[in-house]
């Protein structure tokens, strides 16, 4: 699925069309661990033709299907270019290797399959940011693609991740994804075994942390839901990993697809002042100074006073530091996200 999704955003932008692509992947696993993975990719004829013409005019290649010759088919009143490709696997290990070419956190055993889809948005952009960028161009990318994925197991399925539909014989689970779920972290899990192990999380119950704490929840069968709340507040969901920086008492809860649950309560109590390096309080310098800022839970803001004239540093300056060289009296006031602050006064002559 991933190889064709890599060109979706380019397709939509160039052709200005929605609902232009259909992808269907199916995996059939036999009792002995062998099986077959089948992939069907369809692109509306008008969209494909527009892309081919555009690439040709730019002198670029037009091989959208990566070496596979498409055929013209008719579906739901529209013409599509379609390719179909099958790939056999001789063991579950080989299936895992094939899935790892396209997905993250792949986990394949005799009793099931689990992996994470995080396809087209990229590491530096969320789906919301991608959607907003294309909305400004008048393009709705949410419905630009429909992707269907199914898993057929040798035994009845006892648990599967959210969004799946199970067949009457309880052996096949089918998922349908839109662009948002493909661009977001979406977990897929299908299992034929009972499982009673609770999810794990890297935080100690009732412990107080003096620094920021990044909490990650995991489970061999997959996480159905992960959520957190501050004391007295409401639960909010998060995508399995979250960093807590502000002082307070928090509860993190996780549930797997078998209903096994675990919860941990912990406290962040940060009383450490931010750090300023490159200058020392009440010292006088005769050369320029390179100043850097740091804090164990995060800096809220930095003000620099030059002969009592206040300048608020930008986030980039706070991260990368500043150089001061003009003769003057300076005062730096830095505050972290938990209200801890530090004043540093110095002079350059």
Taking only the tens place, the pLDDT of each residue in 104-142 is: 888 898 888 988 886 544 445 567 776 776 677 666 677
Neighbours of 247 (CB within 10 A): 15
Among the residue ranges 19-23, 237-241, 287-291, 297-301, the one predicted with the least confidence is 19-23
Note the pTM of the prediction, 2 decimals.
0.63
Taking only the tens place, the pLDDT of each residue in 200-211 is: 999 999 999 999
**How many whole angstroms separate alpha carbon 304 and alpha carbon 331?**
6
Strand partners, 152: 28, 172
Neighbours of 147 (CB within 10 A): 23
**How many whole angstroms separate alpha carbon 44 and alpha carbon 37?**
24
**Contacts (Cβ under 8 Å, ≥6 apart) of 239:** 185, 226
**How many whole angstroms separate alpha carbon 241 and alpha carbon 238?**
7
293 pLDDT band, cuts 50/70/90, is very high
Question: Per-residue pLDDT averaged across 306-313, rounded?
Answer: 94
| Domains of the chain by start residue, with CATH | 2-191 (no CATH), 200-268 (2.60.40.10), 275-348 (2.60.40.10)
Burial track 163-190 (b if 16+ CB lie within 10 A, e otherwise): ebeeeeeebbbbbebebbbbbbebbbbb
Strand partners, 242: 215
Taking only the tens place, the pLDDT of each residue in 314-340 is: 999 999 999 999 999 999 999 999 999
pLDDT at 284 > cutoff 50: yes
Nearest alpha-carbon partner for 311 in 337, 331, 286: 331
CA-only gyration radius of the chain, Å: 27
Phi-psi region of 226 (alpha: psi -120 to 50; beta: other; left: phi over 0): beta
Among the residue ranges 13-22, 99-108, 144-153, 178-187, the one predicted with the least confidence is 13-22
Which contiguous run of DSSP H or E holds residue 216?
strand 213-218
DSSP 238-289: --SEEEE-SSEEEEEEEEETTS-EEEEEEEE---PPPEEES--TTEEESS-E
Name the token pair of 146.
């429909």
328 exposure class (CB count in 10 Å sphere: 0-12, 13-18, 19+):
middle
């Amino acid at each position: 699925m991933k190889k064709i999704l890599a060109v979706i955003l380019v397709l939509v932008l160039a052709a200005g069309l929605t609902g232009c692509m259909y992808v269907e992947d199916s995996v059939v696993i036999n009792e002995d661990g062998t099986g077959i993975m089948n992939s069907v990719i369809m692109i509306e004829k008008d969209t494909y033709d527009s892309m081919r013409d555009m690439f040709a005019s730019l002198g670029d290649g037009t091989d959208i299907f990566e070496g596979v010759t498409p055929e013209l088919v008719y579906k739901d009143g529209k013409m599509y270019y379609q390719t179909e490709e099958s790939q056999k696997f001789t063991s579950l290990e080989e299936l895992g290797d094939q899935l790892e070419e396209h997905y993250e956190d792949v986990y394949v055993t005799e009793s099931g399959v689990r992996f994470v889809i995080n396809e087209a948005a990229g590491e530096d952009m969320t789906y919301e940011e991608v959607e907003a960028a294309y909305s400004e161009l008048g393009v709705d990318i949410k419905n630009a693609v429909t992707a269907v994925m199914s898993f057929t197991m040798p035994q009845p399925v006892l648990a599967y991740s959210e969004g799946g539909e199970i067949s009457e014989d309880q052996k096949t689970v089918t998922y349908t994804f839109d662009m948002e779920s493909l661009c977001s972290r979406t977990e897929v899990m299908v299992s034929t075994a009972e499982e009673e192990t609770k999810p794990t999380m890297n935080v100690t119950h009732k412990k107080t942390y003096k620094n920021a704490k990044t909490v990650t929840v995991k489970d061999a069968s997959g996480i159905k839901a992960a959520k957190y709340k501050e004391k007295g507040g409401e639960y909010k969901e998060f995508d399995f990993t979250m960093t807590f920086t502000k002082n307070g008492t928090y509860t993190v809860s996780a549930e797997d697809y078998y209903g096994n649950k675990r919860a941990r309560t912990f406290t962040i109590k940060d009383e450490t002042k931010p750090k300023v390096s490159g200058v020392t309080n009440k010292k006088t310098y005769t050369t320029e100074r390179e100043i850097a800022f740091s804090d164990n839970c995060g800096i809220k803001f930095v003000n620099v006073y030059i002969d009592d004239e206040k300048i608020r540093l930008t986030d980039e300056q706070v991260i990368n530091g500043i150089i001061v060289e003009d003769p003057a009296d300076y005062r730096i006031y830095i505050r972290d996200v938990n209200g801890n602050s530090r004043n540093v006064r110095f002079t350059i002559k």
